[in-house]
Amino acid sequence: MADPSTDPGTLQQLLDALTAPAEPLDVVMLDGFVCAVLLRPQPLPAAQWLPYALDIEGRDVSPPQQARAAGQAVLRRHDTLRDAVAGRQWFDPWVFELDEDAAPSEAVMPWAAGFALAAERFALPLPPGDEAATDALALIYQYLDAGHWPAVTVALAAAIDELEPPRRLDEAVEDLVRAVLLLADHTGPAAPARRSVRR
């Protein structure tokens, strides 16, 4: 079996093996969710966030063997992203190209929704009034319906309004990664002395 930390198809199969009423995040939402979990000075214990990756309501899931396998795979993806974010290194988010007529926003919207779920459930520790952090958040929240997300403040909505939506999927994906790495400078673990947020 392929490594689920690098192969989204393998991880999706493990999540699909969980039985109802479990409603696990799909791998695109999961990737954004984990990135938001990582944006804090001290690690958030897996016991707090992992249940919500395996079931959107945080319920116990079954069968137990499959739940353990899926949980371990999610943790391996978490560790891969953790190392990238902590080192301020570029990473490849799990965003899939849709059909040729689809707008980039359609492809990245699930990733942004997963990020927003974790950012609001676990109170992303952004410094109040930080314009740079707000601008970085706007790169992610621009793909969401602002009315559904309490975190979209007046300042964040204004920052979103100033953005020009990307025309290509690769531009949208780069914005997601850049936003995470910029936010890490405001909320995440300390970075090495030398770092770059560009590919």
Residue 127's pLDDT is 75
| Residue 41 in domain | yes
Q: Is residue 193 in some structural domain?
A: no
Mean pLDDT confidence for 179-187: 93
Q: Of residues 162 and 100, which shows the higher confidence score?
A: 162
Give how many domains the chain has, as a whole number.
Answer: 1
0.75 surpassed by pTM: yes
C-alpha to C-alpha distance for 14 and 61, rounded to whole angstroms: 12
Q: Looking at the domain assignment, is residue 91 inside a domain?
A: yes
The answer on pLDDT for 1 being more than 80 is no
How sure is the predictor about 188, in pLDDT bands with cuts at 50, 70 and 90?
low
pLDDT tens by residue, 50-73: 999 999 999 998 888 999 999 999
Does the residue 134 lie in any domain?
yes
* 20-31 pLDDT, tens digit each: 899 999 999 999
Is 2 part of a structural domain of the chain? Answer: no
- Using the predicted structure, report yes or no on whether residue 196 has a pLDDT greater than 70: no
CATH code where residue 165 lies: 1.20.120.740
State the pLDDT at residue 192.
61
Is residue 124 one of the residues assigned to a domain?
Answer: yes
pLDDT > 70? residue 181: yes
Q: Are 3 and 9 in contact (CB under 8 A)?
A: no
Q: Domain of 43? A: 8-187
At 194 the pLDDT is 45
Domain assignment present for residue 132? The answer is yes
Q: Write the pLDDT tens digit of every residue in 82-101.
A: 999 999 999 999 998 877 77
How much of the chain exceeds pLDDT 90, in percent?
69
Q: DSSP characters for the chain?
A: ---TTT-HHHHHHHHHTSPTT--PPPHHHHHHHHHHHT-SSSPPPHHHHHHHHH-TT----SSHHHHHHHHHHHHHHHHHHHHHHHTT-----------TTS-HHHHHHHHHHHHHHHHHHTT--PPTT-HHHHHHHHHHHTTS-GGG-TT--HHHHHHHHTPPPPSSHHHHHHHHHHHHHHHHHHHSPPPPSS--S--
156 falls within a domain:
yes
* 103-107, 109-113, 136-140: segment of lowest average pLDDT: 103-107
> CA-CA distance, 121 to 89, in Å (whole number)?
26
| pLDDT tier at 195, thresholds 50, 70, 90 | very low
Q: What are the structure tokens assigned to 88, written together?
A: 């301020």
